[in-house]
Chains A and B, each alone.
Chain A
Amino acid sequence: MKRVGFSAVSALLLLITSQSALAEWGLNMTEGVTRVSHEVHDLHMTIFYICVAIAVVVFGVMLYSIIYHRKSRGAKAENFHESTVVEIIWTVIPLVILVGMCIPATATLIDMYDNTDSEIDIQVTGYQWKWRYTYLNEGVDFFSNLSTPSEQLDNTQDKNINYLLEVDKPLVLPVDTKVRFLFTSKDVIHSWWVPELAVKKDTIPGFINESWTKIDKPGIYRGQCTELCGKGHGYMPIVVKAVSKQEYKTWVTAQAVAQAAAKEIKDMSFDELMIQGEKVYNTNCAACHKKDGTGIPPMFPALKDSSIAMGDISNHIKIVLKGKQGTAMSAFAEQLSVSDIASVVTYERNAWGNNKGDYATPMSVKKIKDNK
């Protein structure tokens, strides 16, 4: 019987004694790389030790009784009960401990809510199932998708060390700079969490939430969506790449130039369209319509042999641009460039045995887009 109390206490003792090894073993909360994340970690450890102390006292008394006040040892039951003094003591002491705990917690919270004086403002938009980062004053705007190959998900390929925690384009931030985030969502509620920054905020469609961070040291920090947002919830990681201020400046300039260039419309050959189309399809469409175009009916219809992919091409383009009301099909006009849309439409009409033979051009997509 001793073992009941014992295993609980020893589990807790194990927690304390292995403190130094906690980081390596992935047992404990990260200390993180910002002042706030350190404060949060300290709060966490303080309240944890308070809990351990309470547990040791309570379980200690219990264990003592279990060992010494058992009938098999001849213990005779006493009959004491009801004591107002004792009741008051064990009401007041916890109350005092709690008030003591409230003070640092309040201070940290006030600090975390101070969104003033930011140097960079970034809008983070949640989409099913990817993140979009808009640098509000720098003219940089891009989507960040999971980059783990689907073969690793299906176990047909070995998983790499950053399995499910890697993206095609990370969020790049400078160190020692106060960055303000503005969170919102295009569809359902997501939650943007990077443990090392101690930032977790829900992205809510139609509303904007705020938070901020100031990273102390360069590095790559990974996180995940933490609000159930549909079937791709486990597949929308966050990667933050913190770099020096100088490096950040160079990166921003290069990005702005590249993004402006991407807006120009070039002619593309059928083969170019197909190659780019496959890439765009696998990143943006395959989660629902499946890699082989068979979909998951009825929620996500098949594209293989579908009336849309095999029907009128301008209607096909319109659906990709504007989405379909009342269904899970979202509008891609903002998410993808015209050449991406032209290539993905071309791909859908000519892949998996959909031998339609026709193709869309970036120009034809732009026309339909501008016509509204």
Chain B
Amino acid sequence: MKALPKILFFIAAAMLLTLFVFPMWQITLIAPQYPTGVTMYIWINKITGSEEGTLQNINILNHYVGMKYIEPEAIPELKYFPIVVLSMALLGMALAFTGRWKWWMAWLALGIIGCGLGLYDFYLWEYDYGHNLSPTAPIKIPGMAYQPPLIGNKVLLNFLAKSWPYIGGWFIGGTFILGTVAIWLQKRNTSIA
């Protein structure tokens, strides 16, 4: 099974493409009047909701405290992130054939840095939405910010906000685990040879 690490690495890289099929993150708001919760899905290229009107409904809720409207068209990352992810996936899949585990490591490191930057960017957006409040907001609570957690649960006024990776996000985790295993196997193969 000399080809196994290559196959694994190929799969690991290809798994990035799931980001085009599944949302990578979800933020759910729960309150008594929203028994099923209001869920927003963050994709690599768009923002959607559990229902067609979800984004509008979240924006209506947010406007009471002066949060900016979430307008996916106004978020440039949703346009260039897909290109970055697609490039990374294709590069990784190509590198799989070389069998050079050091290149694989470099690719994985690049991916981890990219993910880190992506999460930091996500944090900055959340910070901006949560802190950059309109001075004419109908409801103003001194000292209150509405930044949802980067990851985890947090109570924001009458809402419980839950922010967790979703299917696409789980697959990214899979990419790193599978990639690491592939590198380890390949390195062992190479040193035995």
Verify that A and B bind, or say they do not. Answer: no
Chain A residues close to B by CB (< 8 Å): none
Chain B residues close to A by CB (< 8 Å): none
